[in-house]
Amino acid sequence: MSKSLGSILCMTLFLCADLFASTYTWSASVNKTQAYMNEAIYLEYVCTFSDKSELYTIDFNPQGEDYSLFLLQESEKIINEKRVNRYEFVAFAKKAKEIVFDFHALMKHTTQASIDSTIGGRDNDREKEDFTATEIKLPVLKVDIAQTNTSLVGEFTLKVLQDSPDIQAYEPYHMEIRIEGVGNFNAIKSFAFNVDGVKIFSEAPKKELKLTQEGFQGLWSQKFAFVAKEDFTLPQIQIQYFDLKTKTLKTLVHDAVQVKVQKLFVKEELLDEVPADVPWHFPYEYLYYLLTFIAGYLFAKIRLRKRASEKKEQNFEQKLSTAKSLNEFAVLLTLEDATRHKELLKKIDMGKISSLAQAKKEL
């Protein structure tokens, strides 16, 4: 009789445990059923538990071949005494076809006794935590993808910042290309110029972006410095993209720029020829006053600008010491004073200096 009562009691405990065990449901949604290649597609997956469900963990790291997938946001909250896990993604389709988002999640369940024994045990016991793992198939989402004739898709504007097109020989002419908007900025490639007789220095593109439901939003920029001894022309800049508002191809254009370069005069060109039959006399009585004036002027200029010059030189030397490549080193020299470092830049350009260490020694 006692054995029967014991069996009934055990069965009742198991039924109660099963009755009060956590349950969960998954839901999924997509913000559009039709899209263009490289257009942002917003996906949301939600797992809602029947209680706080502290004994469950979720492994959910979806991937796919026909699209790029980026995690926008992941959260876990307790709402009305129920645990809610939310996963938000932004996808960009690579092909014009029906894209199927068919994901699975791994639900890991452990027991409180296992957690207590793991916390109270030794370090090597923590690896022995007991849990059960169940793979769950999530709701399938489908989106029809249409073809575009360009990989850049979204809404963009182009702005080019540049110096005055009148410069001295070997003086750097600066330009910065700035593209702002929202879309798949990863499709923008770095720009490269090839102009005869012009030494071109360029920085790697910089991105100041944040991911939104509409795609990446922010700024893409790239800086250039052009150094030449004669006039040159920078070609027209064109950026083609598919505009999602008008559903048409558009082209951002910046016109070609003609840069006028004033030649450096040599000493002989600055001196006028003096006729041989005309005697020339310098009033030496004014020399003392002239030298006194120049000395006073220079002394005042040195005192006023000494600190600023020293600080600028220290900042410049610090940048040079942290340069990671010979190209970056040459860019810093060009931007600081191309004329001053002309000989060193010429050696780098001609390949006489081929290492960063050698260039630093030559400075």
Tens of pLDDT, residue by residue over 157-190, are 999 999 999 999 889 999 999 999 999 999 999 9
- Average pLDDT, integer, range 349-356: 79
Encoded tokens for 185:
């900025």
Candidates 228, 249, 247, 248; CA nearest to 238 is 249
Provide the pLDDT confidence category of residue 310 given band limits of 50, 70 and 90: low
Strands 104-110 and 56-59, bridge-based pairing: antiparallel
Provide the pLDDT confidence category of residue 301 given band limits of 50, 70 and 90: low
| Strands of 131-137's sheet in order across | 56-59, 104-110, 131-137
| pLDDT at site 70 | 97
- Average pLDDT, integer, range 234-257: 96
Give the C-alpha separation, 221 to 319, whole Å: 21
Mean pLDDT, the chain, whole residue set = 82
Flag whether pLDDT at 204 surpasses 70: yes
Tens of pLDDT, residue by residue over 59-115, are 999 999 999 999 999 999 999 999 999 999 999 999 999 999 999 999 999 876 555
pTM for the full model? 0.66
| pLDDT at site 21 | 64
- Average pLDDT, integer, range 5-26: 53
